[in-house]
């Protein structure tokens, strides 16, 4: 696993701001803007958005016209997304700490 902290290419600031754009029928788009100099840092598309703490509500919104056939399946899928978000976040934080210790800035 490789973990990076997003940095502005213009001013090297790590102070960035995410702008989440939803358009009907399109995957959600995130524009990352530098909070220091205002430049565009990155753009990425989201296929599956999970908003922690807002749980199922935001997930239902991103679900689309899919047809599930099993109640268990639906429940398992949501648990998987929730757990994956939390464990992924923790793993990334841990990895970042390790990277910092190996190569101090």
Partner 1 sequence: MSSRRVSWKNVVFSAAALVALVLLIVESPLGMDGPSKAAGVVLVIAATLWITEVVPLFVTSLVVLFCCLVWVRPVLEQSGNPVEATKFLAPFFSDIILLFLGGFVLSSALHKYQLDHRIALAIITRTGRSIPRLLFGVMLLTACLSMWLSNTATAATMLALCLPFIRSLPPNDRYRQALLLGIAFAANLGGLGTPIGSPPNAIALQYMRQAGLAPQFWMWMLIGVPGVVVMLTLTWALLLYLFRGQQREVEVAADQPVNGLNKRSWIVIGGTLVTIAGWMTTESHGYSAGTVALVPLVLFFGLKILSVEDLRALSWDVLLLMGGGGCLGVAIDLSGLDDWIIGNIPLHDSSVFTVMVAFGLLAIVMSSVMSNTATANLLLPIVMGLAISSVTPVMIGVAFACSLAMPLPISTPPNAMAFGTGELKTIDMLKPGLVIAVVGAMLAFSTGYWWWDIVGLF
Distance CA(43)–CA(46), nearest Å, equals 10
User: Whose Cβ is closer to Zn ion: residue 10's or residue 76's?
Assistant: 10
**Which of 37, 46, 81, 92 forms a contact with Zn ion (CB under 5 A)?**
37
Closest CB to partner 1 among residues 65, 105: 65
Cα–Cα dist 40/21, whole Å: 14
13 in contact with Zn ion (CB under 5 A): yes
- d(Cα 32, Cα 46) in Å, to the nearest integer? 13
Which of partner 1, Zn ion, none sits in contact with 48, Cβ below 5 to 8 A by type? none
């Amino acid at each position: 696993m490789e973990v990076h902290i997003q940095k502005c290419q213009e001013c090297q600031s790590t102070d960035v701001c995410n702008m989440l754009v939803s358009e009907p029928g399109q995957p959600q788009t995130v524009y990352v803007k530098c909070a220091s100099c205002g430049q565009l840092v990155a753009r990425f598309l989201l296929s599956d958005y999970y908003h922690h703490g807002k749980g199922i509500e935001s997930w239902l919104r991103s679900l689309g016209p899919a047809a599930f056939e099993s109640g268990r399946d639906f429940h398992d899928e949501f648990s998987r997304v929730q757990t994956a978000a939390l464990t992924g976040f923790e793993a990334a934080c841990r990895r970042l700490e390790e990277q910092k210790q190996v190569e101090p800035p």
